[in-house]
Structure 1
């Protein structure tokens, strides 16, 4: 069973990877560039992930084909959505929360690289109802 402490440590390491990417290439580039850099940085840190994971959709007991893709699904428990936008808007958050639900992930992280200080402005953690059932 996943523990809250494990998730907190994982978020710490993923944020560290994002800070390293941002420090090296800065803001203002396309999301796809940050995605490639995050893949490299997570690999260097030996953090397992799935990139562009197709998210399964189950509807009334049937599995439907889907075009939904999660940017990064880390350690099979953390949904990571990457952005390079002026502002995170509610639909970005709704999308992340939906991905978390569909992947049975208790936690998600939104990282926006189009900021001056990624640690203070560019990252936010989201939890869903699964999180409260985890052990400390």
Structure 2
């Protein structure tokens, strides 16, 4: 399955969750429900994936954790904040670069509509 198809499934699932539950819950709640919904749709899902980092010849086993990794290639960063800011986007771009992945979705469930809470981020993306 192409990454754009996976992204479309994720967006559809996020919109369904937001319509049912609305904004205002903790990020962990949205993460849990989204992961379950994506698995039910046949996607491989890993939550809180530790990512090692080597910096200045020092290895850090779990320098950071990816909220959700879909099919070993689409990074999802879940937020439940009043408004996304540039730091959130930089965070996801850094994850994409370190994890060597082309596409990630920044998902803010606290927006009035889920459509307003979705940001697609690319890191030297090359269509399949």
Q: Which structure shows the higher strand fraction? A: 2
How much does 1:49 deviate?
A: 1.6
In the other structure, the counterpart of 2:109 is 113
Name structure 2 gaps, 5 residues minimum: none
**TM-score normalised by L of structure 1:** 0.87
Trace 1:1-136 onto structure 2 (pairs within 5 A). Answer: 6-60=2-56, 62-119=58-115, 121-129=116-124, 131=125, 134-136=126-128
User: Is the partner of 2:62 in helix, strand or coil?
Assistant: coil
> Which 4+ residue blocks in structure 1 deviate beyond 4 angstroms?
none
Q: CA RMSD in A?
A: 1.6
In 2, the alpha carbon distance for the partners of 1:61 and 1:6 equals 35
* Count of residues paired in the alignment: 128
Name structure 1 gaps, 5 residues minimum: none
